[in-house]
Structure 1
Amino acid sequence: MLYLKVKRIIDIILSALGLIILSPLFLILIIAIKGDSPGPIFFKQKRIGIYKKPFNILKFRTMRLDTPKDTPTHLLENPDQWITKVGKFLRKTSLDELPQIINILKGEMSIIGPRPALWNQYDLIAERDKYGANDVPAGLTGWAQINGRDELEIEVKSKLDGEYAKNISFMMDIRCFFGTFLSILRSDGVVEGGTGVISQSNSKPKETVKK
């Protein structure tokens, strides 16, 4: 598809500009993270990109080093005790996602597209296969994110991702881009410890979440 090539050029230009323009903010957040708690600045997590190709997504670290490993936030007892003070702010404002600009510049993600699933979110990956949503670049934000974000059931979320894949275009990306800002300002659909759930009729576990 021709637009995917155009989309990649747009991603390169905007992500490069973003890194330059946001470098002062990056520096402030890096200092805040290091001053708040010991540990690395970034958190890496294995995710699934276009054509189900795995890559390591980057985020600003929002949790303490002694947080139980490989445990979804929603399965932790009193999740708030593991999230740092700065981390709570980063999550609420979605600023913890900013390092993904690097993923975009590298070509592992796009600015707009379905949010990349964790490598072990087999239910979400399978649902997206039904709608062709695994055949477009994963994104920093997307159609599902401005239509419910964390509170969506996986079946609904996958359908929305499929709608994006079917109607992918410059205008669709513009709608998602500006819709994201409105969604963040309203904190729509943000549920701590989850990026989607499976309907009650499905016995599979909830999605694993970010740290």
Structure 2
Amino acid sequence: MAPNKMLEKKGFKLGTFSSNCSSGMTVSKAPERWVNSWDNNLKLGKMLDDAGIDFMLPIARWIGYGGETDFHGGVLETITWATALLAHTKTLSVFATVHTAANHPVVVAKQIATMDQIGQGRAGLNIVAGWNKPEYEALGLTLPDDHETRYGYAQEWFDIVRKLWDSREHFDWNGENFTLKGVKGDPWPVNGVVPILNAAGSGLGREFATQNANYLFTPAIDL
């Protein structure tokens, strides 16, 4: 079993971002822009693994930006993408990116734990509490205007995930956003936890990350 590099506090971490999305991070009409096929992602993952790179981080998208190339219109779903990569690599840590509003915490806790079992302790979870409004509307969801509501929901969501990973007994939950009865987390992450990353730019988002995450993914505009 390889240690999860992203749980180690020492050293600079190097990884890739958005290879599961069409065009990656390049908004371009260039014919050679990134093609996010599974074959390309698998080749990239194996290459990164062989080179000793630390991690791969995906973007969770549901609709693209439209236009001639429909930037990010094609997206490999992140949990299945990450699980497959973990099954084909040896030391690389691979994150799944999850929108709290679109994914039930009990389901996600089991998905990530299963993913971590397959990867022998190399899985990671990137939590997204809010995203652009059209993608929420595409799923029939409402994006709250205030960050207090978004991160209040995300906090309860993650508290449930953590309890499922920490507890070995069935438990009930009666909260503001979730009511659960007799839930249990089996299976559990190999190391008891997985590295948590939070993508946030607001003050409340960064506060959420400092309280809950191992890593904050944020624009370096105003720190």
- Rg: which structure is higher? 2
Q: Of Structure 1 and Structure 2, which has the larger fraction of its residues in helix?
A: 1
TM-score (norm 1): 0.28
Q: Of Structure 1 and Structure 2, which has the larger fraction of its residues in strand?
A: 2
Q: Which of 1 and 2 has higher RCO (CA within 8 Å, sep 6+)?
A: 1
TM-score (norm 2): 0.27
